[in-house]
């Protein structure tokens, strides 16, 4: 496609991206429906017809089979799922007495209706994408048959798919996995936030709009309210900040100490830190939780030595509990940081250090001008991932403190994160609708923080080389 055929919008995009610009495909749906022949246009109704007309029988058969499968699914089940989706079912389980025996009649299950309905809507969206693929494939076959005398054969298409378009083939399964195991559950969870699916409506529930969001962001009291949400959100962000950057800076310190030329037995020290990685995390956390109980080993030893008169409130005082989980998380997280930074330190070009020493730079200048910028540049995506993981760090909080201390009547403890609070609301209390709202807000917070941080980092703005 030449620059003369590009729209003003594409021309602007081309100037902005420069060498990274990729021109849009000429085989668009619009071109197919306006410039294609009768077989190409009829491919919008009968998938693969244009491919059959150009002797691409395998591709045409696959597209036609997928269309038939979708039509059969919609006729057998899909229409029924969609028809029940607006009401989420209303028939309760009943029972009638027949010959002295109770015969139960099956009722509707709103969870199943919602799940199948969402899946059907997603399949309809996928069918729309397949429709576009069918039309574009037919138009491309027409254009190539006109230019080269024949459309590519199945063998030629297969060769191109494993060579020139190998990236599409390799990314297909991961993309499909993300859609099925991430996007689809996310849509299901978002849908659940607009229903009355709680402990009082576990089988049949209805759409309630934004009522659940009103409960979360109101100050009317209850198990979930705006004050409690803000409190948990602030603690979650504080926890994620300290759990990420304390691990990073302390891990950086230990990695640099071990990596020094004068440090002996480097392998031994690295092995010592690696031992905490080898031990299952839940084992370490449960052992530490037991040791820090009022009657645990730590308090008993301190009292026997006469250092304290009463047990330290590791998990019974809010401040103590929060400091405790942050400190113990260092034991879990620092070894990972040491391994990451050790690999980076060993790959920093030695000529940078030599040039700095020749220019008279001291150790602090070398650290701030070479080592630290290089590490930050390389580890920015890792830090963002770690921050995200700490926001959702269910294991450390749930296994160590269980969210305690928890005020009487509150649905969240003082050390509960959004993720552990969500778990309690759903699994323990059965309020899946409120838990879905918390899940949506967690997703929004993580998406905003991650995207803003990454897009403003050197790793995103200058991917080609260290700046």
* Cβ(252)–Cβ(371) below 8 Å: no
pLDDT score at 3? 46
Candidate from 261-265, 293-297, 387-391, 462-466 with smallest mean pLDDT: 462-466
pLDDT score at 455? 72
**End-to-end Cα spacing for the chain:** 35
Buried b (16+ CB within 10 A) or exposed e, 9-19: eeeeeeeeeee
Confidence of residue 95 (pLDDT cuts 50, 70, 90): low
pLDDT score at 422? 92
> Between 432-455 and 184-192, two packed helices, what is the crossing angle to 10 degrees?
130
pLDDT tens digits for range 410-447:
888 999 999 999 999 998 889 999 999 999 988 888 88
Query: Is the residue at 467 inside a domain?
Result: no
pLDDT score at 97? 66
Nearest of 375, 386, 416 to residue 247 by alpha carbon = 386
pLDDT score at 46? 94
pLDDT score at 134? 93
Tell me: pLDDT of 465 over 60: no
CB atoms within 10 A of CB 148: 9
Instruction: Tell whether 311 and 434 lie within a shared domain.
Output: yes
pLDDT score at 467? 46
Instruction: Tell whether 238 and 383 lie within a shared domain.
Output: yes
**Mean pLDDT of the chain, nearest integer:** 86
Residue 49, C-beta contacts closer than 8 angstroms, at least 6 positions apart: 39, 42, 43, 60, 64, 138
Instruction: Tell whether 153 and 286 lie within a shared domain.
Output: no
Instruction: Tell whether 189 and 223 lie within a shared domain.
Output: no
Q: How far apart are CA 332 and CA 389, in angstroms?
A: 13
Which single residue is written with the structure tokens 């009657």? 295
Q: What's the number of domains the chain is made of?
A: 2
Give me the CATH number covering residue 344. Answer: 1.10.3720.10
For residues 451 and 10, the model is more confident at 451
pLDDT score at 463? 52
Instruction: Tell whether 160 and 257 lie within a shared domain.
Output: no
Q: How far apart are CA 288 and CA 400, in angstroms?
A: 7
> Between 281-291 and 297-304, two packed helices, what is the crossing angle to 10 degrees?
40
Tell me: pLDDT of 4 over 50: no
Query: Is the residue at 252 inside a domain?
Result: yes
Instruction: Tell whether 173 and 231 lie within a shared domain.
Output: no
**Domain region containing 169:** 23-193
Nearest of 108, 40, 106, 113 to residue 82 by alpha carbon = 113
Instruction: Tell whether 133 and 255 lie within a shared domain.
Output: no
Instruction: Tell whether 55 and 166 lie within a shared domain.
Output: yes
pLDDT tens digits for range 198-253:
988 888 999 999 999 998 888 876 778 888 999 999 999 999 999 999 999 998 88
Instruction: Tell whether 146 and 106 lie within a shared domain.
Output: yes
Mean pLDDT score, 383-408: 89
pLDDT score at 383? 85
Confidence of residue 22 (pLDDT cuts 50, 70, 90): low
pLDDT tens digits for range 347-376:
888 788 888 888 888 888 888 888 888 888
Q: Which one of 145, 177, 193 terminates a domain?
A: 193
Nearest of 318, 315, 317, 325 to residue 247 by alpha carbon = 325
């Amino acid at each position: 496609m030449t620059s003369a055929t590009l729209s003003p919008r594409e021309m602007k995009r081309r100037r902005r991206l420069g060498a990274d610009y990729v021109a849009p495909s000429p085989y668009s749906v619009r071109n197919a429906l306006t410039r294609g022949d009768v077989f190409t246009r009829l491919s919008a109704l009968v998938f693969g017809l244009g491919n059959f007309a150009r002797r691409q029988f395998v591709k045409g058969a696959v597209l036609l089979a997928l269309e038939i499968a979708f039509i059969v699914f919609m006729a057998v089940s899909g229409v029924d799922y969609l028809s029940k989706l607006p009401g989420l079912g209303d028939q309760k389980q009943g029972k009638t007495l027949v010959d002295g025996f109770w015969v139960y009649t099956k009722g509707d299950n709103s969870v199943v209706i919602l799940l199948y309905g969402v899946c059907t809507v997603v399949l309809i969206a996928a069918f729309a994408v397949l429709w576009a693929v069918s039309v574009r494939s037919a138009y491309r076959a027409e254009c190539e048959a006109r230019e080269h005398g024949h459309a590519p054969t199945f063998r030629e298409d297969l060769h191109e798919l494993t060579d020139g378009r190998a990236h599409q083939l390799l990314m297909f399964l991961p993309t499909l996995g993300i859609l099925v195991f991430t996007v689809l559950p996310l849509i299901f969870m978002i849908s659940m936030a607009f229903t009355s699916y709680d402990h009082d409506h576990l089988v049949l529930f209805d759409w309630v709009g934004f009522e659940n969001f009103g409960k979360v962001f109101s100050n009317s009291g209850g198990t979930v309210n705006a004050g409690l949400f803000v409190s948990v959100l602030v603690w979650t962000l504080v926890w994620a900040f300290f759990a990420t950057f304390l691990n990073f800076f302390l891990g950086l310190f230990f990695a640099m100490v071990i990596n020094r030329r004068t440090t002996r037995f480097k392998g031994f020290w690295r092995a010592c830190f690696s031992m905490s990685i080898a031990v299952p995390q839940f084992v370490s956390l449960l052992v530490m939780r037991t040791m820090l109980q009022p009657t645990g080993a730590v308090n008993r030893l301190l009292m026997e030595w006469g250092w304290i008169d009463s047990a330290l409130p590791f998990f019974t005082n809010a401040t103590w509990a929060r400091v405790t989980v942050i400190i113990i998380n260092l034991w879990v997280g620092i070894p990972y940081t040491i391994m990451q930074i050790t690999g980076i330190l060993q790959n920093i070009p030695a000529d940078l250090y030599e040039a700095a020493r020749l220019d008279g730079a001291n150790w602090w200048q070398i650290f701030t001008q070479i080592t630290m910028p290089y590490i930050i540049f390389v580890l920015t995506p890792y830090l963002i991932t770690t921050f995200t993981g700490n926001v959702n760090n269910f294991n450390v909080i749930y296994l160590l403190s269980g969210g305690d201390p928890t005020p009487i009547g509150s649905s969240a403890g003082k050390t509960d994160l959004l993720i552990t609070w969500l778990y309690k609301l759903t699994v323990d209390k059965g309020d899946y609708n409120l838990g879905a709202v918390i899940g949506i807000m967690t997703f929004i917070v993580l998406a905003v923080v991650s995207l803003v941080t990454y897009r403003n980092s050197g790793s995103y703005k200058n991917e080609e080389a260290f700046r």
